[in-house]
Amino acid sequence: MTVEVQAKKLDVSPGDLVEIGDRHYEIVPDGGGGVSLEPAVTRSVAELRAARGGTGHTPARRGP
């Protein structure tokens, strides 16, 4: 038994966001002239830090 699968060609470019099954992915260059999918960063670092209630800065150590 042979199953034939046809891939859909998408008109996407690096930097585009796509949604597949309620998940968001970013189109990124794959280094070989093509593109790949990576999980999209949906919140900025500032938003993540604010949600955790911190600034993200480590206090400087004092003394030995």
Q: How many CA atoms lie within 13 A of 50 on its CB side?
A: 5
Q: Where are the domains of the chain?
A: 17-51
3-class DSSP state for residue 51? Answer: helix
Mean pLDDT of 8-29: 87
- Tokens standing for residue 31: 């280094």
What is the pTM (predicted TM-score) of this model? 0.50
Higher-confidence residue of 57 and 2: namely 2
Residue 55 has pLDDT above 70, yes or no: no
